[in-house]
């Protein structure tokens, strides 16, 4: 496998096998500059990473606005964009937040999965990104709004797909039950699943991945480093954005010890593992620097001996 391989989704749309996530562009946990965003986009495109994912949620529009500046002047055919609906950004007096250091404090998020909300959200995203269209539009985190997502959001997205406004319909979540239900009850094209199919967490194997394979729905795997522990499994490392339990930490350290015997970086196995499942077409990785992009690309390209996966499986 190679990070810049082109993979075809079921709608015929082609994207790169490694995608660039832009939550970092919104200042996720640490502030970033526009210059750092520009450098990341230039590095990604120069290295064949053409699929870029964003959302209004990331910094309350900051990521989308920064992406617009970073992509300015680049041929529209040189990249594929996905963004998301489900959260409208509504003016407010002042609202800071701890998760995104570069958040727009003049707006607040309001969940809205209605047809009008879908249309308004896309229009606003296109304005922020200074684009006329996006390739993929996803329903974002309908955890408590699954019925509305199925009955209201999906029909609105279906109309857009039929009119050629978008090329694919998706849902992006960090749990697998609702996406599995949506595959069964709608004609979505893809699922972006964050953190639920990794070396340390295979919960998506129980429900999402089997039905996706059965229905021909493409899977994009995100959060495959489980928020950091699979990059560096030391005491205090985070798993799903909180300090890892001793049990999780020990498992990660056992996998790392095994890989160290073969001079294989833990991150290489973590990035490649999801792509071994036939339903998974792409690994989406949030990067905030050119060094991170190049390192992750190299780890994705590294050829691992087939026997190592059986040894990892024994630990899992």
Q: What is the pLDDT of residue 314?
A: 87
Q: What is the pLDDT of residue 84?
A: 98
- Give domain status of residue 1, yes or no: no
- Give domain status of residue 210, yes or no: yes
- Give domain status of residue 23, yes or no: yes
- Give domain status of residue 43, yes or no: yes
Q: What is the pLDDT of residue 127?
A: 98
Phi, psi of 92 (to 5 degrees): -145, 165
CB 2 within 8 A of CB 47: no
Does the predicted model carry a pTM greater than 0.85? yes
Please report, for the domain that includes residue 238, its CATH number: 3.20.20.100
CB 231 within 8 A of CB 221: no
> What is the C-alpha R_g of the chain?
19
Residue 126 belongs to domain spanning: 6-315
pLDDT (tens, 9 = 90+) of the chain, 316 residues, equals 799 999 999 999 999 999 999 999 999 999 999 999 999 999 999 999 999 999 999 999 999 999 999 999 999 999 999 999 999 999 999 999 999 999 999 999 999 999 999 999 999 999 999 999 999 999 999 999 999 999 999 999 999 999 999 999 999 999 999 999 999 999 999 999 999 999 999 999 999 999 999 999 999 999 999 988 999 999 989 998 889 999 999 999 999 999 999 999 999 999 999 999 999 999 999 999 999 999 999 999 999 998 999 999 988 8
- Give domain status of residue 271, yes or no: yes
Q: Number of structural domains, the chain?
A: 1
Catalytically active residues are 58
Q: What is the pLDDT of residue 316?
A: 82
Residues 6+ apart with CB under 8 A from 44: 20, 50, 52, 287, 293
Q: What is the pLDDT of residue 315?
A: 84
Task: State how far the Cα of 200 lies from the Cα of 229, in Å rounded to an integer.
Answer: 9
Q: What is the pLDDT of residue 241?
A: 83
- Give domain status of residue 264, yes or no: yes
Please provide the DSSP assignment of the chain as one string. --TT-EEE-TTS-EEESEEEE-GGGGTBSS---HHHHHHHHHHHHHTT--EEE--TTTTTTHHHHHHHHHHTTS-GGG-EEEEEESEEEEE-S----SSBTT--TTEEEEE--SHHHHHHHHHHHHHHHT-S--SEEEEE--TT-HHHIIIIIHHHHHHHHHTTS-SEEEEEES-SHHHHHHHHHS---EEEEESSSSSS--GGGTTHHHHHHHHT-EEEEE-TTGGGTTT---TT-EETTEEPPHHHHHHHHHHHHHHHTTT--HHHHHHHGGGGSTTEEEEEEE-SSHHHHHHHHHHHHPPPPHHHHHHHHHH-
- Give domain status of residue 38, yes or no: yes
Name the token pair of 272: 């490649």
- Give domain status of residue 305, yes or no: yes
């Amino acid at each position: 496998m190679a990070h810049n391989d082109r993979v075809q989704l079921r709608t015929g749309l082609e994207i790169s096998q490694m995608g660039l996530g832009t939550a970092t562009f919104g200042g996720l946990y640490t502030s970033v500059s526009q210059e750092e965003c520009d450098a990341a986009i230039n590095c990604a495109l120069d290295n064949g990473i053409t699929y870029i994912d964003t959302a209004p949620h990331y910094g309350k529009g900051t990521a989308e606005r920064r992406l617009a500046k970073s992509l300015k002047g680049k041929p529209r055919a040189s990249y594929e964009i996905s963004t998301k609906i489900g959260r409208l950004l509504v003016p407010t007096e002042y609202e800071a937040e701890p998760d995104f250091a570069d958040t727009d404090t003049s707006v607040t998020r309001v969940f809205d999965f209605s047809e009008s909300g879908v249309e308004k959200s896309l229009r606003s995203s296109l304005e922020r990104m200074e684009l006329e269209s996006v390739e993929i539009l996803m329903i974002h985190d309908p955890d408590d709004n699954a019925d509305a997502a199925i009955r209201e959001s999906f029909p609105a997205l279906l109309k857009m797909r039929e009119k050629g406004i978008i090329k694919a319909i998706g849902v992006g979540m960090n749990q697998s039950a609702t996406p599995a239900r949506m595959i069964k009850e709608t004609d979505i094209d893809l699922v972006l699943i964050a953190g639920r199919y990794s070396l340390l967490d295979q919960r998506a194997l129980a429900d999402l991945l089997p039905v996706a394979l059965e229905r021909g729905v493409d899977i994009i795997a995100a959060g495959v480093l489980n928020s950091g522990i699979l990059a560096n499994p030391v005491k205090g490392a985070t798993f799903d954005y909180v300090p890892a339990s001793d049990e999780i930490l020990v498992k990660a350290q056992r996998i790392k010890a095994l890989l160290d015997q073969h001079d294989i970086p833990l991150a290489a196995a973590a990035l490649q593992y999801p792509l071994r499942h036939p339903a998974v077409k792409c690994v989406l990785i949030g990067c905030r620097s050119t060094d991170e992009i190049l390192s992750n690309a190299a780890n994705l390209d590294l050829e691992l001996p087939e026997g190592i996966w059986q040894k990892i499986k024994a630990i899992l």
